[in-house]
Amino acid sequence: MVENSDVIKHTLFSLVNVASTKTSEDYAWSIIKTLLKELKENYDFLKYIKIDNLEYLENTIDDITIMSDLDNVNPTHVGKAIQDIIDIFKTRMGKKAGYFFIKEFRDDLGEEYHSIIKEMGVDLRLIDLQNEVYGISSSQNYKIKDDNNINIAFIEKKEKY
């Protein structure tokens, strides 16, 4: 079984990896650090994540330190945090993220971690679909949800974060 801490670490690192191909590594890391700080109000467990000092980052996965306390958090809650991190990160990247950002992120993340975050409630396929249907600018207000029981997707107004 893969621990929450490992999933978050790989997710954050993949976001930075992909963003670094479109902007500077420093900018990508600063977005992650800012997001984690901002989202601590909604997800208290994000306090268990530490990004090393930006001045000394080498763009390795070891730049992210996560306390094992995160492994005791319900994976569904971690999934919601991951979803918000991805959504807000992509928005903050703006046009720099580009049309294929989510696909590139999914590829960098790898099939194993993509499957794990999907089990946590984060479906990158639906995020791609959302971007195609609504475009990047309006995707902040709506989210396409997957209903596995009837094998369709539907649109839901997003809560503010």
The overall pTM is greater than 0.85: no
The answer, yes or no, to whether residue 24 has pLDDT greater than 60, is yes
Least confident of 10-24, 47-61, 88-102: 47-61
Average confidence (pLDDT) over 19-26: 88
CB contact burial 117-133 (16+ within 10 A = b; e otherwise): beebbbbbebbbebbee
For 87-98, the pLDDT digits (tens) are: 899 888 887 777
Measured CA to CA, the distance from residue 102 to residue 161 in angstroms comes to 20
The answer to whether 80 and 8 are in contact (CB under 8 A) is no
What are the residues facing 51 on neighbouring strands?
A: 64
> Would you tell me how many other CB atoms lie within 10 Å of the CB of residue 49?
21
For residue 25, is it left (φ>0), alpha (ψ between -120 and 50) or beta?
Answer: alpha
For 61-114, the pLDDT digits (tens) are: 878 899 999 999 999 999 999 999 998 998 888 877 777 889 899 999 999 999
Q: What is the pLDDT of residue 137?
A: 45
Q: What is the pLDDT of residue 138?
A: 46
The answer, yes or no, to whether residue 157 has pLDDT greater than 80, is no
Average confidence (pLDDT) over 27-51: 93
